[in-house]
Amino acid sequence: MPSISVTMIEGYDDEAKERLCIALTGAVRQVLPANPEGIVIALNEVPAANYMRGGKHKQPAPALPDAARLVREFLGHMEARDLNAASAMLADTFTMAFPGGVNMNTLDELIAWAKPRYRFVRKTYERFDTASGDEGPTVYCYGTLSGEWLDGAVFEGIRFIDRFEMENGLLTRQDVWNDMGEAKNG
């Protein structure tokens, strides 16, 4: 039965603590063949007044946003064409890679690239998977696309996977894979 004890400055909300416990449970299961029910995570909170580092009292840093929720929110802003809200979620170094070797850095470039391809696209989500990384979390989003081609023909059920990297609560990279080319030409 693996057991992890974490000591942290008090001040984090229950959601942040739950996300931490879930992430630690997942980390154990990536290395050990442990049943989740057998993994014990104990969070020990130290009052800020009782915590010092470098001879100075410290306050807890704000918890990072839930990575999958952040991606879903970004994609929702994109579908609603709220480009200002979507852009606010991007790091200055944000890059996108689309099928066919198309690389872009801004949402305006993406809109211009998509304009001669289809009238609109909507995503139906099957799931979001989050993986830990050295620079921050990576979120994979799976599902299907539906929408309308330029000639008015409707399409649906086209598979897609989006992969998002993030750092410090901002999206830094999006990789897109889908079967739109096969559906359009097939």
Tokens of 185: 């030409």
- Can you give the pTM of this predicted structure? 0.86
Please check the confidence at residue 129 and state whether its pLDDT lies above 90: yes
Residues 6+ apart with CB under 8 A from 121: 79, 114, 145, 146, 147
**Do 31 and 78 sit in the same domain of this protein?**
no
Within a 13 Å sphere around the CA of 46, how many CA atoms are in the beta-carbon half? 15
Per the structure, the complete domain to which residue 102 belongs is given by: 67-185
Let me know if residue 126 belongs to a domain. Answer: yes
| pLDDT score of 98 more than 90 | yes
pLDDT digit string (tens) for 23-77? 999 999 999 999 999 999 999 999 988 888 899 988 888 999 999 999 999 999 9
180, containing H or E segment: helix 180-185
Query: Parallel, antiparallel, or unpaired for β 170-178 and 154-167?
Result: antiparallel
Residue-level pLDDT at 186: 57
Quick one: average pLDDT of 117-134?
A: 92
Average pLDDT of span 79-86: 95
Name the residue type at position 12: Y
pLDDT value, residue 185: 65
* Same domain membership, residue 75 and residue 166: yes
